[in-house]
Structure 1
């Protein structure tokens, strides 16, 4: 058992009938990290999280959660926001949060007090006595999320937590995730929205077709693609295209091309020697979205 890991899994397989939804996935989540499980819809993200939590059993493979080979034995130390949201509509927000904490063994009185603090931090203090049915979808979703952290879990597992939230509540959720990390919790979340993963994740796994296609840091993922150059000539004349790499594309604001493996210096020297000069130049590392599309592949993205 590796004490440095909150979650470890090897060779996880899950079949539903003849279909392998998860096909031999390995995951290692360091304690205290924000870890993302990324993939297109239907990639197997939710099934993987449920196996890690012990909600469903794998057909093959092993997993350990907070040191337990039977993950459900650690359930009181885990906070979980499932993909399918659900709160009792007649409950008040404060009571709903305390109730979810009580399911994890937290005293009701402590739960209510913590609920007020969490609602205040989330900008929802005004909704503490509002019934769930009166709240907007985004507010109700945040209330359920607060219910998953009210017992101060060691591990927080969020399945597509940003789905259905407006931009303001997405920012609120990002702040809450970072606050939980700063408290010392480990956060594991699934998403198909790259912007959140790029800002939040220490490490990530990219899943497609039930298989892990990549594991590493955001920088590692972005590093799977070459850098791109944006070049603006000082004086553009005939023959400039022949001096640029073969994939150079003319745009209204200049030229864009892949930086050659040996760097851009030789290309730039040719341009200067030919009299085109340099009015502007920037070297850009591709974003996580571009790396995701390359790693997953167009076929998976359209599936």
Structure 2
């Protein structure tokens, strides 16, 4: 369990992190989302020891992080930090050896990751000759090549095409399945929503919401419903507490002011014809994000 407790950080008079607390559970993917300048990168750098917090603590399994602990972390910064004139395989082996792997084992790890990330054919190419998307894949491989026990990734999906996104998703999912706490930031909310078990939303240096994805959806559940009837639904506009967003014949999208109103709509629908469909619109991460950071 990776945990931040009441972490604060200022740059001069600007408060970058204000009493930030959240956990990253083992075996779970935690998405860290927020606008530009919200504090995501600062929090990640404090976790890695790149920055020192002004207050608060970062712990792993209940104890303070040591240099040895952080050597077991895999970190991918938002800025690309690999050696542009060094061959891809060569530098992955180098990074694995820095973490204590023997040469043969380091090479096996690197080759396996390159194949999984569809970079096997480019392993002997210099990094600077790769496309930006492939450089991003190489950066992810560098964070994983030493088989870390904790993963902290800043914008790992930036610049990736849909096929590469799927490959990276699978690698991260497998890391979590092996028991690693995985924390990653992303501006691509659809990916975060699809991939994550838990979410942390930060705004203005403070945690605006945190918890399991499904629990957050339930706590911010939508009041919008879709009705499909085998008869015209014009009567819906006359139901007290209903605001029709759109309608066409037997279909309508509408908001209700209370659960009792929803039940009243369903009763009226049954009276008017056969109910083909009656569903609540699923709350998206984008909707939750807009609601909590307003």
Normalising by structure 1, we get a TM-score of: 0.88
Structure 1 distance, partners of 2:232, 2:45, is 58
Structure 1 residues 17-26 or 226-235, which shifts more? 226-235
Structure 1 residues 244 and 175: alpha-carbon distance in aligned structure 2, compared to 1, 3 A threshold? farther
- For residue 206 of structure 1, what is the aligned residue in structure 2? 201
Q: Give the alignment of 1:170-181 within 5 angstroms.
A: 170-181=165-176
Q: Could you say which residue in structure 1 is the equivalent of 2:142?
A: 147
- Is the alpha carbon distance of 1:66 and 1:76 closer, same or farther for their aligned partners in structure 2, counting shifts above 3 Å? farther
CA RMSD of aligned residues (A): 2.1
Displacement of 1:237 in angstroms is 6.6
Deviations 1:202-247 (A, max 9, x none): 2121111110011111112212133421113433276431126433
CA distance in 2, matches of 1:290, 1:43: 18
Q: Does 1:138 align with 2:136?
A: no
Instruction: Show the 5 A alignment for 1:1-303.
Output: 5=1, 7-65=2-60, 68-223=63-218, 224-236=220-232, 239-243=235-239, 245-252=241-248, 254-259=251-256, 260-262=258-260, 264-273=262-271, 275=272, 278-297=275-294
SS at match of 1:23: strand
Is the 1:82–1:159 contact (alpha carbons within 8 Å) kept by the matching residues of 2? yes
* Distance across 2 between alignment mates of 1:240 and 1:251: 9
**Worse overlay, 13-22 or 244-253:** 244-253
User: Secondary structure of 1:231's partner?
Assistant: strand
Secondary structure of 2:30's partner? strand
* Distance in 2 separating the partners of 1:76 and 1:126: 29
Select between 231-240 and 51-60 the one with higher mean Cα deviation: 231-240
Report the more deviating stretch, 123-132 or 104-113.
Answer: 104-113
Which stretch shifts more, 91-100 or 277-286? 277-286
Q: Distance in 1 between matches of 2:236 and 2:223?
A: 21
Give the Cα–Cα distance (whole angstroms) in 1 for the partners of residues 154 and 100 of structure 2: 22
- The separation in 2 between residues aligned to 1:88 and 1:219, in whole angstroms, is 41
User: In 2, are the aligned partners of 1:26 and 1:212 still within 8 Å (CA)?
Assistant: yes
Instruction: Report the secondary structure of 1:111's partner residue.
Output: helix
CA contact (8 A) 1:94 1:129 kept: yes
Q: How far apart, in 2, do the equivalents of 1:133 and 1:31 lie?
A: 35
The structural deviation recorded for 1:184 is 2.6
Please report how far the alpha carbon of residue 58 of structure 1 lies from its aligned counterpart in structure 2 after TM superposition.
0.8
Cα distance in structure 2, aligned partners of 1:205 and 1:115: 31
Cα separation, 1, equivalents of 2:45 and 2:29: 18
TM (normalized to structure 2)?
0.91
Structure 2 stretches lacking a partner, 5+ long? none
Deviation sequence 1:111-169 (CA, Å, 0-9, x none): 12221111122222111111111111111111121111111110011011111112221
Q: Is the contact made by 1:8 and 1:65 (CA closer than 8 Å) also made in structure 2? A: yes
1:293 CA drift (Å): 1.5
- Counting matched residue pairs gives 291
